[in-house]
Amino acid sequence: MIECKAKLKNWGNSIGLIIPKEEAKKEKLHTDQEVKVIISPMNMTKVKDIFGKLKFKKSTEQMMREVDKELDSKFVNG
C-alpha cells in the first residue's frame, strides 16, 4: 500500500494523478495495472482556524486551580 503526497494534473477533460516513481517501484506497479485509490485532500488545519471554537464547561481560572491542587497533592504530600 502506498501512502504519499501526489499531485493532480489536467489530462484532457479529466484529472490525472501522478504517483512518484520510487513509490510505484516499491509496490511493483506497472502501466495499465488496475489499482484502488482512496483520495483525501491535504487540508492543513491552522491554529487560527480553531482558535476560539473549543468550549469548556469550566473557566480557565477554575481549571488552573484544579490542576494546581492536584499537583500540590502529588508532590507536596506524596
What is the block-wise mean pLDDT of the chain (78 residues), using blocks of 10 residues? 84 91 90 88 71 77 90 74
DSSP 14: E
Note the pLDDT of residue 34.
92
How high is the pLDDT of residue 39? 82
Is 1 inside any structural domain?
no
Residue 53 lies in a domain: yes
Residue 36 lies in a domain: yes
Question: Could you list the residue range(s) of the whole structural domain that residue 29 is in?
Answer: 7-75
Quick check: is 54 in a domain?
yes
* Chain mean position to CA 71: 32
Structural domain count of the chain: 1
Task: List Cα–Cα distances, 10 to 23, 27, 35, in angstroms.
Answer: 21, 25, 20
Q: Would you state the cell numbers that stand for residue 53, as one nine-digit string? A: 471554537
**DSSP bridge pairs for 15:** 10
Compute the distance between CA of residue 54 and CA of residue 58 in angstroms, rounded to an integer: 12
Task: Tell me if 18 is assigned to some domain.
Answer: yes
Q: Does residue 11 form part of some domain?
A: yes
Residue 68 lies in a domain: yes
